[in-house]
Amino acid sequence: GSIKNKRSLISLENLLGLLRLCIEHKKAGNQLFLACDNEDFSTPDIVRIMGKIIGKKPIIFNFPVKLLLTIFILIKKEKVGKSLIIDLQVDNRLTKEYLGWKPRSYY
């Protein structure tokens, strides 16, 4: 509950829609496009959403982030700990502007 990071995700529907657009769009050839949904989520948000999908309420509690990272370091899993804590955001503005793509919101 203490982790206040931001994560970009993309729904399967938005990914498939973008892939279709790239196949059909004349300007999409030989380009690299970053894609994500319109809203970013924290790790606790993602756990809550997953719980809602499977019909179970997750137990989320506040835990000092520095202590959590220290525990991961002690068990030799620092990379895993950092990957849970850091921001992992995608900027899809250029994809939306260049192709006119509008990801649908699902949350």
Report pLDDT digits (tens) over 29-55: 899 999 999 999 999 999 999 999 999
Show the low-confidence residues of the chain (pLDDT under 70): 107
- Predicted confidence at residue 2, as pLDDT, reads 87
User: Residue 36 burial (CB < 10 Å; 0-12/13-18/19+)?
Assistant: buried
Q: What is the pLDDT of residue 1?
A: 85
Region of 10 (left: φ > 0; alpha: ψ -120 to 50; beta: rest) is beta
For 29, which DSSP code? T
The answer to whether the beta carbons of residues 40 and 89 sit under 8 Å apart is: yes
Q: What does the pLDDT read at residue 13?
A: 95
List the beta bridge partners of residue 41: 7
pLDDT value of position 107: 65
Q: How far is CA 102 from each of CA 10, 17, 24, 31, 88, rounded to the nearest angstrom?
A: 12, 9, 15, 18, 21
